[in-house]
Structures are given as structure tokens and as C-alpha cells.
Homo-oligomer: A and B are copies of this chain.
Amino acid sequence: MEKVKPRTLSGFMELLPARQTQMERIMEILRRTYSLYGFTPLDTPVIESAEVLLAKGGGETEKQIYRFTKGDSDLALRFDLTVPLAKYIAQNYGQLVFPFRRYQIGKVYRGERAQRGRFREFYQADIDIIGDGELDIINEAEIPSIIYKTFNALGLKRFVIRVNNRKVLNGLFEVLGLKDKATDVMHIIDKLDKIGKDKVLACLTDDLGVPGETGEKLMTVLESNDPIAALEPYVGVSGVFDEGLDELKTVAGHLEGFGIPAENFKIDLTIARGLDYYTGTVYETTMLDHPEIGSVCSGGRYDDLAEYYTDKKLPGVGISIGLTRLFFVLEDQGYLNDELLSAPADALILPMTDDMAQAVELATYLRDRGIRTQLHCEKKKFKAKMNYANKLKIPFVIFIGEDEIAGHKASVKNMTTGEQQLLTYEEAAAVIGTGIGALNSGTVINDR
């Protein structure tokens, strides 16, 4: 028979088993952490009507979209989880209760040019809190806590959640007489990390005609080590500015209460997260040792989630983790904890005689006690079976031979220490349970 070459499309992540197990651990931690904050899980279709999905239209995204027809239907694959959320809420408005808090972890599709570390199919892990008409600032204050707890649960230590407020930024431009140039100023400030203060000042003056003194004032505030104090002198001129500063203070003021260590949080007046969508607090999360990766968890406050579908005003705040890219980076940079158990089983039972009965019985006994157990009854040599356990890093191998059958016991070998013990079923379950407890006790990210 002519064979077709098996291959996976470029830009599509497909992991080997041990890696996939690490990915599953991460997803499980995200689900658990998001749930702790009262978010309900949603699952929307991957395929939507193109008309619905592209209601907003235009932009970079539309070029990347997977769009096709099936019968008479003009269809598209979702390119994010926000548009499907907007559709869902507009469609089910009467059956939902607000503020509506949902998380969704799902695959999205963008036909980007393939390059290393960029994916065409990738997981996003989103949370959003949507208000009906209004939404209290406390929700914006709570988001950094969710980011912190999530990354902390994963085991990441050296990261900082950077927070800004768009009203502060827009208000400051207003106060400094830069309102008309706000967009262009923002574009230049956005390059601060890359080109440095002097070049930003030069650009402001040369390209936009901003007076040198104004530029200096702006830079002094943006680069201040105590941004709130640096902003205070400008209070009382712009309503937007004052409101934004109050919000920023509220967010910063609840840090301790929400359990966020000071070293994992920073007010950073230079981040903006795009120019249109966000209207209040914005968030970025950067790995201290890998700033080149950019933000691994971003989002912000927006005023109108579903304006393309409904007249209802639905303000919200949300964040998104680009999970597939994050996983790629973590693997690439050696952050994944390979000491953590990633074997498909905790125990492998090897029957040493033709009588399988006791091996089957023991497998059932262990599984009933939560121990992931595999029987290996293939007609292979002993060495090949031990090799199987070694390659898969299965931590315990159990031999059931004539002696074990005669005494209704199990010989349990700890594959790490090499120690082998003849045990009752109960003792075996206890020994294995303790052993795997230790092997599961680390975090999935190893951030030394």
C-alpha cells in the first residue's frame, strides 16, 4: 500500500507524552486558580458564523483568519476568546447574572506567518468580569491578585505584574497640553524600553514639536520610582486624570490585602496595551530574567464588550494568557520541572507467571485507592519490561511471581532507590502513595 507521510502542520504544537503531561498540569492549575476567584467555566464553539465573528471587521486579524464555506454557510474559526464571549453574553443576556465572571481555556486560530515560537493554533486562557451597565473598580484591583496566584501556583517566582491606568495617561497628556498628539506621543513612549529616554525626548521634540520642558516633565513622571507621588502635583486640572489616579491608588492600595508581594507588582506608566480598546487599568506581566519575551499575561479594563451585538452597555475587565506560546518559552528556556512525575502510571505490575489473576486483582486494588496502575502482560523479556518502566520513568514496579501469589503479597521495587520489598496490598498502596506524593510535590515551573 502506498503510504502517506505522517506530518503535523507547521505552526501547530503537538507534544510528546511527558511534555503534554506538563501542559495538562498547567491547565489544571489555571482551572483551579481561576475557580478560586469565582469564575465559571465556559466552552464556546471553535467555528462561528463569519458574520458574527467578524462583526467588528477590519484590522490585522481579518487577514489571518481561517475562513471557509460549508454548504451555504460562511464560517470562520475563532481568533480569540473575547469575541465569542461578547456573542455569548449578548445572546444569553437574560439568562446570565451580572457581574458575570467566566474563564475559558481554549484553542484559537490565526494564520500568521510561521516562525519559531509563533503558533497558528494556540491556547488562550482568559478570564473576564463583565458588569451590566457598570463595574466597580475593586474588580480591577483584584486582577493582579489572580495573575500573582496563578503564576505562583505554577512555580514562577521572578516575574512582575506591571499596571497602568489609561485615564491617568490620557489625563496627563491633557494636563501637559498634549491631548491632540496623545496617540503619537503614546507610540513614542511605547519605544522607551528599546530606544531609551534621550531618543524618546528627541522624537517628542523633533517629530511632534513637543516643547523640551514638557517632554522633560513627562519623562520625569513616567520614569519616577514613585509614580503615584510623581503624579500628585497634577491633580485638580483634569477630571479624567483625577479619576484615573484615584483608580490607580485603589488598585495599588489593595495589593497587600489581595496577598500580592510588593516585589511582584509595579506601577508602570509607560504601558498602554494598544490605543483603542482599553479605558482604565491595564496589565502586563513580564519575566524578570526574560524581558525579551514580552508580556506573558496581559489585559485591562474596557467599557463596551459587545457593542457590535447589543445596545446594552457591558463594561468589563479581563486578562489573557497565551498558553501555547508561554509553554514554548518555558520549555525553550529550561523552566519546566522534569523532576515532577510525568509518567503515565505510578506503578507498573509485571506478572512473572502465566497466572494473571493476582496481578489483575492488585491492579484493581491500587486503582481503587487512586494509584495510577498499569499491567504489563506482553510476551516480552523481563529486561524489556524493566526498560519500559525506565523509559517512561514509572516510579514503582511490582512483581507478582509464585512466591507473591503463594503469600498473597506484592514485591514492590522503588525505581529511584532500587529498594525492593515484599509487602501486603495495603502496605504496597501506602509505600507507593507516599512515594508518588513526594514526586508530585514540586511545581511545574522550576524558577531557581
A1-34 residues with Cβ-Cβ distance < 8 A to B are 1, 3-9, 12-17, 20-21, 23-24, 31
A234 contacts B by Cβ under 8 Å: no
Are B145 and A364 closer than 8 Å at their CB atoms? yes
A74-109 residues with Cβ-Cβ distance < 8 A to B are 75, 86-88, 90-92, 95-97, 99, 101-102, 107, 109
Shortest CB distance A31–B (Å) = 8
Residues of B within 8 A of A367 (CB): 36-37, 149
A45 contacts B by Cβ under 8 Å: yes
A48 contacts B by Cβ under 8 Å: yes
Are B375 and A138 closer than 8 Å at their CB atoms? yes
Shortest CB distance A305–B (Å) = 12
Are A43 and B55 closer than 8 Å at their CB atoms? no
Interface string of A210-237 (1 = CB under 8 A from B): 0000000000000000000000000000
**Bound CA–CA A373/B146 (angstroms):** 12
Residues of B within 8 A of A87 (CB): 6-8
Closest B residue to A346 using CB positions: B38
A70 contacts B by Cβ under 8 Å: yes
User: What is the size, in residues, of chain A's interface with B at 8 Å between Cβ atoms?
Assistant: 105
Residues of B within 8 A of A121 (CB): 45-47
A135 contacts B by Cβ under 8 Å: yes
Are B17 and A102 closer than 8 Å at their CB atoms? yes
A292 contacts B by Cβ under 8 Å: no
Are A1 and B344 closer than 8 Å at their CB atoms? no
Shortest CB distance A20–B (Å) = 6
Are B136 and A379 closer than 8 Å at their CB atoms? yes
Closest B residue to A48 using CB positions: B9
Are B21 and A41 closer than 8 Å at their CB atoms? yes
